[in-house]
Structure 1
Amino acid sequence: MATDTQGEIVNKVKQSEKLVTIDLQEYFDSTPRTELDLKQFLFKGMILKEDDFREQLENFDWSQFEGQYVGVYCSTDAIISKWAYMLVGQHLATHAKEVFKGKVDDMLYELYRRNLKELNWSSYQDKFVILKGCSSKEKPVPEGVYLYATQQLLPYVKKLMYGEACSNVPVYRG
Structure 2
Amino acid sequence: MGEIVNKVKQSKLETVDLEKFAEGIIIKELDLKDFLFHEMILKEKEFREKLNNLDWSQFDGTYLTVHCSTDAIIPKWAYMLVVQHAEEFARNVYFGTKEEAIRQLFKEKLDLVDWRKYDGRFVLLKGCSKMDVPPDVYMYATKKLLPHVQKLMYGEACSNVPVYKKPRK
1:1-174 → structure 2 map (5 Å cutoff): 7-17=2-12, 19-137=13-131, 140-174=132-166
Contact preservation (8 Å) 1:29, 1:112: no
Unpaired runs of 5+ residues, structure 1, are 1-5
Q: Secondary structure at the match of 1:122?
A: helix
* Alpha-carbon distance in structure 2 between the residues aligned to 1:65 and 1:86: 17
CA contact (8 A) 1:162 1:168 kept: yes
Give the TM-score taking structure 1 as reference length. 0.85
Q: For this pair of structures, how many residues does the alignment match?
A: 166
Amino acid corresponding to residue 75 of structure 1 in structure 2: S
Question: How far, CA to CA, are the matches of 1:131 and 1:60 in structure 2?
Answer: 42
In structure 2, C-alpha distance between the alignment counterparts of 1:118 and 1:97, rounded to whole Å:
17
Secondary structure of the residue that 2:78 maps to in structure 1? helix
Unaligned runs of 5+ in 2: none
Return the letter of the residue paired with 1:27: F
Q: Calculate the TM-score normalised by the size of structure 2.
A: 0.87
What SS does the aligned partner of 2:37 have? coil
CA contact under 8 A between 1:67 and 1:95: conserved in structure 2? Answer: yes
Per-residue CA distance 1:60-88 (angstroms, 9 max, x = gap):
22222222211011111211111000111
- Deviations, residues 105-139 of structure 1 (Å, cap 9, x unaligned): 222222222222222212212222110011114xx
SS of alignment partner, residue 48 of structure 1? coil
Residue 34 of structure 1: how far off its partner (Å): 0.5
Distance 1:146 1:124 in 2: 16
Whole-Å separation in 2 of the counterparts to 1:108 and 1:118: 16
Give the stretch that moved more between structures: 43-52 or 148-157: 43-52
